[in-house]
Structure 1
Amino acid sequence: MSHDQEIHLQREHGLGLARARELAAQWAEDAEEQYGMACRIEEGETSDLLYFSRDGVQGTLAVEPARLVLQARLGGLLAGFRQVVEARVARKLDELLALECQRPSQRKG
């Protein structure tokens, strides 16, 4: 597969797994509503894997306590617009991370 058809994004964060899970759930909800993605999350003890797909794109978002890693493969017409798609996905992840980092922690102490 050509690198022109692949997207790989990694974002470090200090949210911890619980808050990163909330962020991933919000990302999935937005992807479903705005782009017609089918999303499903497999929760693990130390990390989750969010699968997403629709015509022309499939990928995963690894949700870890200190980072998010998105990998996607584009096909069909979307393959020719990799840079645009990648920029939109990166912007959305960055926006959600910024909002989540501004939100007070819900930890009980």
Structure 2
Amino acid sequence: MADIHIVQEHSLTPGKAREAAQQVADKMAEEYDLACTWEGDVLHFERSGVEGSLTLALKQAQMHLKLGFLFSAFSSKIEHKVAENMQKVFGGAA
């Protein structure tokens, strides 16, 4: 098991931050076949071997992923790709 925690600062409005979070979720869903659902300002996602959330705050987005045994072997690659994608969609306006 591996845990990944990524914090990305931003200066987006709440609506724009939600759009950015949805872009991150869409990319992750496409690459890792994740099911995503919103609960307030928290985007939950999961599939067999992966679960996590993307929480939106006023000036930051926090991603937390729990990877099962098989995905743990790829944790550094997954962390890098997700952090890069978050930087792209949230960091551009920071």
Q: TM-score, normalising length from structure 2?
A: 0.89
The percentage of counterpart residues that share the same residue type is 33
Q: SS at the partner of 2:29? A: helix
Greater radius of gyration (CA): 1
Q: What RMSD over aligned residues (CA atoms) do the two structures have, in Å?
A: 1.6
Q: Which has the higher contact order (CA 8 A, sep 6+)?
A: 2
Gaps of 5+ in 1: 103-109
Cα gap change, 1:10 to 1:98, in 2 (>3 Å): closer
Q: SS at the partner of 1:24? A: helix
Q: Give, in whole Å, the separation in 1 of the partners of 2:14 and 2:71.
A: 32
Residue 31 of structure 2 corresponds to which residue in structure 1?
A: 34
Question: Which has more strand, going by share of residues?
Answer: 2
In structure 1, give the amino acid aligned to 2:13.
Answer: G
User: Which of 56, 64, 68 is matched with 2:61 structurally?
Assistant: 68
Deviation by residue 1:39-92 (Cα, 9 ceiling, x = unmatched): 00112xxxx000011122100100112100001110021112211111111011
Q: SS at the partner of 2:61? A: strand
1:90 aligns with 2:83: yes
Q: Give, in whole Å, the separation in 1 of the partners of 2:28 and 2:76.
A: 18
Contact 1:37–1:54 (CA under 8 A) maintained in structure 2: yes
